[in-house]
Amino acid sequence: MHRRSLRSASRAASASVSDVLPKTPARLSSSLHPIDHTPLTTNSDGRRLRASQTSTGQRYTSSGPDQMPSNATRDEMDPVLLAELAGAVSRNVPGFADAFFPASHDLQELFDWAVDAGVYVRKSSRWKSWPSSPTEGNVLAFFQSVVDNVLLRQLCSNTGARAYPYVPSNTVLIRGGDCRRKTDLLLSTVIPNGPALPTAALPRMNFARMPRTRYDWRSIRVVGELKANPHQSDTDSTLAQLANYVREIFNAQPSRRWVHAFTLCGHHLRAWMFDRSGATTSELIDINAQPVLFLRVVCGYALMDATAVGFDPSIKWLRGGVEEPYDPTVAYSLGSSAATSPPYLYAPVGPLKPVPVKLEIDPNPLFHRRSIVTRGSVCWKARRFNQPGTVSDAWPYVVKDQWRAAERPSECDIISSMQRPDRTPDLGLPEYCWYGDHRENGQPVDIANTVRRGCMVDAVTGPPSSRTRLTSSSSRVPGSMAPPLRPITEASNQQPGHNAQRGSDMPAGSMPPPRWSGSRGTKRRSTAEDPLPESAAKRPRRDAPASCNNRIFSRLVMAPVGRAIDMFTTVTELLEAMRDAICGHRTLYNAHQILHRDVSLFNILIDDDVTRPGKGLLIDLDLAIRRDRLSATGASHRTGTQDFMAPGLLCGNPHSFRHDLESFFYVLLWIATYYTVPPGDGSPTELRSFNLEVDTIFDCCEDVSRNFTYLAMVKSGFVQNPFAFEKRCLAVLDDDMRAALGPLLSAWRDVLYPPGYCVEYAHASPDDEAGLWQTLIDACQVRIEALDGR
């Protein structure tokens, strides 16, 4: 079946399979590799991966129009998100409001005007139109008649500020998501029959006459959740609702550093901010008793520029000839006809290093993370920024951005140790053109200070004394609102707070090309897997204050742009790529003293660059360590991708190069199990139609999940005995795939699991097994020659 008809069949079947999690494999990328894979843990990425698996041959794509949604239900997703955020949510953080919604004369004047106009009744300390019964419909009416049509319009009139109005989104599912979700209230760059946003001339809103518009996650800036019960602000259910929305925004807008959200439960407002380390919240705000603070928050959201709303200011574009931070939500609303440049960034990849050059990036990422608490890895195709009138179709670079855990050794440090003066490319390894930790205003970009602005309990990497605060009379935090508002001391009916100091008052969009440096960092926190009991979702949270597991933003540029290993067009091409990737692994270990530790389907590429040696690449050094650290990694969990992990590693043995070589074996077995032999016309392989009643080795591994000892026993039971391997692994392959790869799989099995081998212990020293690489390579080469180009 051709890929187009295969996708059509998948879409037609999606409704019937959305409530189950079938066990055939998910394809991670239709066009290129994901350059990143997390340690073995359960998060919403994993749920997304498993939920997208169907028996119809569906391919999972990381981005673009072919992306197939998982349509996971709230019952499926909520426990995973709560586990992902466990211990990573800091509530009632002092100084949160001052850091992100600073006081200003303009807002004080707006409040004074509201009092004079009778919009706010000072005598009774309440907004005149606030409903006595704060149902969803009544609160939406308040936002229409008071917030949009009175307060924001008046603020824009007074100051000339350009704002986004609040719009309801509670009737129609939002487009472009992984799951079927709808919010109550949001800020979007696109509204029905509305003007280009933001605008200083806000239209008069009439929610009842607005068409039932399906908003798109790509246009959404801030989301809000409304509840009548004032006690629901701190429940797991409310947290899970917001987390579902935030996950969709991170998915649709990969260059987001953070996502703003809010809850309004009864008359209690809480501002939330989610980032790659978890979430922080403001203290509860009584919108009637604290009206100016309420204005600071709701007007602050409406006035946020690209940097304040969470987009990466190091990715830029030209609008009207002016360089400013790239805003994908605005780009979505403008469409392709807008007089804007493509997004670009600066990186020192040219011959005049360290002088940075402009690299245009494709705004549709090759790969990005969908979970919240994660490295947030995103990979973009990149090329030199062309002058107007010139066109280039070649994308020679891959830019990889991620938030590495501050305690884990940086991938950049590993790469730096590999560099040679002659820059001769290694067979089976990519060329790393540039790498480093990002700096803005002379300071490293991290979660604790750059993102949260010091508003946290304790960062795991720095003492409390390292965090300074601003009073409410200090100058505006850069990027918090646009245009800048004149700061004042808060009115007496406001809660006191403290603001975190930033390194500079330079306004967003005026930064010079970024400067970079190398640095070190740490392992990320593992998340719990067990879903919370149902009763926990309803009760208020009483958890202890969460510490900030700090993360540092880093970037690397590599070449070439490869092709995912499961996009091979001939079996020979597949085996050549596997052979060269094994060569690259050997070079890493012996020449560079580095153990990879994450060999998987996702980290082996086909190299189509004919100017480079070889056909395959081994990528992603996120989990790699130097050999002198093999016994002191600091890891609290096993490292790797579960389907491809060696049984001995699952048993708890120290990670060795042998375990990585076993992972190559499981990658090839996975491909043989779930893919077809290409037809030979240049088109790539397809996922095979699979009988779900047949249990493969990978299905059994999925069934036992994180019981590592049992998983090791099950896995070894499939491969240690040659007769069991024949019956349980080779017999389930398609006939043509078995004919093509069966001999090599048997040869590799015989080498890796000889008679008497026990996965429970290492029966031979590394020196005794140093010939394993060459033995696997030789067996691969024999099979390549036998295939004769097929």
Same domain, 499 and 638: no
Q: 244 is in which domain, residue-wise?
A: 89-310+472-506
pTM score, whole prediction: 0.79
pLDDT tens string 384-404? 998 555 556 789 999 999 998
Same domain, 302 and 235: yes
DSSP-assigned beta bridge partners for residue 470: 499
Q: What is the pLDDT of residue 424?
A: 74
- Please determine, for residue 638, whether its predicted confidence score (pLDDT) is greater than 50: yes
The last residue of one of the domains, among 490, 506, 522, is 506
- Please determine, for residue 766, whether its predicted confidence score (pLDDT) is greater than 80: no
- Please determine, for residue 527, whether its predicted confidence score (pLDDT) is greater than 60: no
Q: What is the pLDDT of residue 388?
A: 52
Same domain, 600 and 746: yes
Asked whether residue 243 is assigned to any structural domain, the reply reads: yes
Same domain, 110 and 199: yes
pLDDT tens string 673-731? 999 999 989 999 998 887 666 788 888 766 555 678 888 888 899 999 999 999 999 99
Asked whether residue 623 is assigned to any structural domain, the reply reads: yes
Same domain, 644 and 734: yes
Same domain, 630 and 483: no
Same domain, 635 and 490: no
**Mean local confidence (pLDDT), 206-233:** 92
Q: What is the pLDDT of residue 423?
A: 65
pLDDT tens string 731-753? 999 999 999 999 999 999 999 99
Structural domain total, the chain:
2
Same domain, 569 and 500: no
Neighbours of 416 (CB within 10 A): 13
**Higher pLDDT pick, 719 / 39:** 719
- Please determine, for residue 530, whether its predicted confidence score (pLDDT) is greater than 50: no
- Please determine, for residue 272, whether its predicted confidence score (pLDDT) is greater than 60: yes
**Mean local confidence (pLDDT), 260-270:** 98
Nearby residues of 12 by Cβ (< 8 Å), 6 or more positions away: none
Nearby residues of 333 by Cβ (< 8 Å), 6 or more positions away: 189, 190, 196, 197, 219
Same domain, 599 and 494: no
Same domain, 178 and 258: yes
> Is the CB of residue 441 less than 8 Å from the CB of residue 503?
yes
Q: Residue 602 carries which DSSP code?
A: G
pLDDT tens string 533-579? 334 444 445 445 567 889 999 999 998 888 889 999 999 999 999 99
CATH number of residue 728's parent domain: 1.10.510.10
- Please determine, for residue 463, whether its predicted confidence score (pLDDT) is greater than 60: no
Q: What is the pLDDT of residue 59?
A: 39
DSSP-assigned beta bridge partners for residue 522: 407
Q: What is the pLDDT of residue 44?
A: 64
The last residue of one of the domains, among 506, 529, 555, is 506
Nearby residues of 210 by Cβ (< 8 Å), 6 or more positions away: 167, 168, 191, 192, 193
Asked whether residue 417 is assigned to any structural domain, the reply reads: no
Amino acid identity for residue 109 in this structure:
E
Q: What percent of the chain has pLDDT over 70?
A: 75
Nearby residues of 213 by Cβ (< 8 Å), 6 or more positions away: 172, 191, 192
Q: What is the pLDDT of residue 336?
A: 73
Asked whether residue 649 is assigned to any structural domain, the reply reads: yes
The last residue of one of the domains, among 506, 530, 548, is 506
Banded model confidence at residue 412, pLDDT cuts 50, 70, 90: confident
Same domain, 488 and 593: no
Query: Which stretch of 121-135, 145-159, 301-315, 388-402 has the lowest confidence by average pLDDT?
Result: 388-402
Banded model confidence at residue 33, pLDDT cuts 50, 70, 90: very low
pLDDT tens string 156-199? 999 999 999 999 999 899 999 999 999 999 999 999 888 989 99
Mean pLDDT, rounded, of the chain: 79
Asked whether residue 550 is assigned to any structural domain, the reply reads: no
Q: Residue 285 carries which DSSP code?
A: E
**Mean local confidence (pLDDT), 8-31:** 35
Same domain, 487 and 619: no
b/e code 580-612 from CB counts within 10 Å (16+ = b): bbbbbbbbbbeebebbbbbbbbbbbbbbebeee
Q: Dig out the tokens for 172 from the structure.
A: 């129609």
Asked whether residue 624 is assigned to any structural domain, the reply reads: yes
